[in-house]
Amino acid sequence: MSTKHEGGCVCGAVRYETQGDPMRVSVCHCTWCQRRTGSAFAVEPVFQMEQVVVSGPPLSRYRHISDSSGRWLELAFCPTCGTNIGFVTERAPDLQFIDAGTFDDPTWINAETHNFRRIYLRSAQNWAEVPDGVEQHEAFYQA
Ligand SMILES: [Zn+2]
Ligand SMILES: [Zn+2]
């Protein structure tokens, strides 16, 4: 578990480092992730909080209450450029979700060796293709 990966925001003020492998990678097609990312779905390697070290200015935070669960999710942004670095959830506050595209070199993320989980496929866009052979769920799924 000594694999290190670095990432950060587009302006470079916020940097982070992750240690070891993520416990899973959530690929979330919910409408909230579509709106917050401005894209078809979010790809989120999920780490234990202690696997992630963030440096730079204090992150801006926005707490959203989920329509469906009534629980909060807290997004973290670079205060300068607004890049969404990741989020934390009330459901599992010891886990740090990182937005996959913020890694300097996200090519280490591997759908075959990491535990990919496709969720909220009920709101997936027909222009966002889902590959065969990955775990898929119509809504939230808790192992
Ligand atoms: Zn920035
Ligand atoms: Zn989502």
pLDDT digits (tens, 9 = 90+) for 11-70: 999 999 999 999 999 999 999 999 999 999 999 999 999 999 999 999 999 999 988 889
Cα(76) to ligand 2 centroid in Å equals 15
Q: Exposure of 129 by Cβ count < 10 A (0-12 exposed, 13-18 middle, 19+ buried)? A: exposed
Instruction: Please give the average per-residue pLDDT across 106-124, as a whole number.
Output: 92
* Ligand whose nearest atom lies closest to the CA of 78: 1
Rounded Cα distance, 141 and 21, in Å = 21
Output the six-digit token pair for 109. 């993320």
Q: Can you give the pTM of this predicted structure?
A: 0.90
CA of 97 from ligand 1 middle (Å) equals 18
Measured from the alpha carbon of residue 39, the closest ligand is 2
User: What pLDDT was estimated at residue 54?
Assistant: 97
C-beta of residue 89 within 8 angstroms of C-beta of residue 33: no
Give the residue extent of every domain in the chain: 4-58+95-136
Which ligand has the nearest atom to the CA of 87? 2
For the CA of 84, the nearest ligand: 1
